[in-house]
Amino acid sequence: MLCVTSQPQLDALLASHPAVLVLYGGQTCGVCQVLKPRLQQLLAEHFPRVQACYVDCQADGSGLCAQQQIMALPVVQIWFEGSRFTEFFKVFSLADIKAALARPYGLLFGDT
């Protein structure tokens, strides 16, 4: 999972990858730390063409989190072709993320 710390970095990532998942978390967010490897595993198994990145809102990524109006952790944003498709915050499951990714991923890449 790539670490992103600024809006220009995020913009470049969104421009260069058709599908991006962004996890906003923090070092002291226990849920975030548990969620990160599980998201990586979900993407590797079911959505290998999705580029994943991580923004640490409690460290170098705090400015980006403010720009994206992230007020609580964790937050997962899913982007397709440079546009935010959906966002999950605080209470959600991996099944929710998998379901949200399945159809647009299949349409974009022709597989699931």
Cβ pair 21, 51 in contact under 8 A: yes
The pLDDT mean for the chain works out to 95
CATH number at residue 94: 3.40.30.10
In the chain, the percentage of residues whose pLDDT exceeds 70 is: 98
Identify which of 87, 105, 96 has the alpha carbon closest to the alpha carbon of residue 22. Answer: 87
pLDDT-derived band of residue 68, with 50, 70 and 90 as boundaries? Answer: very high
Instruction: pLDDT band for 90, please (50, 70, 90 cuts).
Output: confident
Query: Structurally, how many domains does the chain consist of?
Result: 1
Backbone phi and psi for residue 24, each to the nearest 5 degrees, phi listed first: -100, 120
Q: What is the pLDDT of residue 110?
A: 87
What residues make up the domain containing 49? 2-109
Give the residue from 30, 78, 75 showing the smallest Cα distance to 57. 75
The pTM of this model reads 0.94
Report which residue type is found at 82: G
- From residue 101, how far is each of 14, 40, 57 by CA, in Å? 16, 14, 24
